[in-house]
Structure 1
């Protein structure tokens, strides 16, 4: 299991001078995701910058990932965001760091796809039933597929690092996704239902490859 310390993580992040520049909530979230971020930056050499918004905008989620000039941007939007931790409502305090770790792993899954140059692309050897047609429906479908992949990366990470907690995290993720409409960009139950237990993932492979194998199964049902 990968264990990292928090202070080296802060030294690795771009634009953060010290922990003193962060709020208590930001520190908690970064500390919870430290192992994932350190693995991504140090072991995988993914190009990740961490950005803290000085003021969240309406409807901002607390944690998001973008891609700009060849680098992933992990954005924390917690300042002035009264709903920042609503996603953790009902989760026991002792388990909240684990759920945040899964969320960070989800965003790293997005970063991996961007960095590999396969964002919104089908995996090699996978043929769509119909050719892509530009439009809102296809964009929504492609985004949903990326969210499904990232959810599976999160679960593969949890299975690798915290197998004894897998059932709790998987159940929480299904609960989070259930309210979304069937056509929503985060409606990923098609994939989550394939990974209700950690046995869905192939041991010994990198988490991105483990996620990809299950993702392909879900894609067969998502065309």
Structure 2
């Protein structure tokens, strides 16, 4: 616990937050749950990540999101005044909630990695999509869904790496969260989640993001 606390305080300091006293209990709980992911991203991957806390959430804000500004990833917490901030955890046993939050943070780090690599909305080699100006809105939706699919696979690869005994619970929860989204929606990622029903879908000999990328490319073939 001392090591985790030290890492948490380091993250806050490097993100421009002076102390944990500035955070609400909910914000502290979420950042603590995600501290191992954030530490890996900042220390091992050297990803440029800042933590931003919204002073007041807007009606459409989700509790955790990632943006990109001036070459840096912005992990945005929108929990203050957000009565629905933890709806995503409804039905999750209290003892498993930190695990699901950690998976959500890993998902956002997947987005950050794509941004930092300069491949946001870029298809991998061998994939080509014809330009269809009349269908620009549908194409934009598809591009976003593909990024969400990649990030979901990063979350599962991370879970298999850190918590293999809990993989089944996390994967089932993610499928449940994604289920309401229509297949054509921006978060309709079931085509990718179904490729990883168990942790055996990931190759531990590969780097974490390549584990996700291998399955992601397979999912692209199904996302027509």
* 2:56 aligned residue: 55
Residue ranges of structure 2 left out of the alignment (5+ in a row)? none
* 1:195 aligned residue: 196
1:113-152 alignment to 2 at 5 Å?
113-124=114-125, 126-128=126-128, 130-134=129-133, 135-152=136-153
Separation in 1, partners of 2:95, 2:107: 20
1:8-87 alignment to 2 at 5 Å?
8-12=7-11, 13-87=14-88
Deviation of the 1:4 alpha carbon:
5.6
CA contact (8 A) 1:170 1:196 kept: yes
Separation in 1, partners of 2:95, 2:199: 21
CA contact (8 A) 2:7 2:35 kept: no
With normalisation by structure 2, the TM-score equals: 0.95
Residue ranges of structure 1 left out of the alignment (5+ in a row)? none
Separation in 2, partners of 1:194, 1:154: 13
Tell me the SS of whatever aligns to 1:66: strand
Separation in 1, partners of 2:35, 2:131: 38
Q: What whole-Å deviation, never above 9, does each CA across 1:138-175 have from its counterpart, x for those lacking one? A: 10000000000000000000000000000000000000
CA-based RMSD: 1.3
Separation in 2, partners of 1:174, 1:156: 15
Separation in 2, partners of 1:95, 1:127: 38
* 2:163 aligned residue: 162
With normalisation by structure 1, the TM-score equals: 0.95
Separation in 2, partners of 1:4, 1:215: 34
Deviation of the 1:183 alpha carbon:
1.2
Separation in 2, partners of 1:4, 1:194: 35
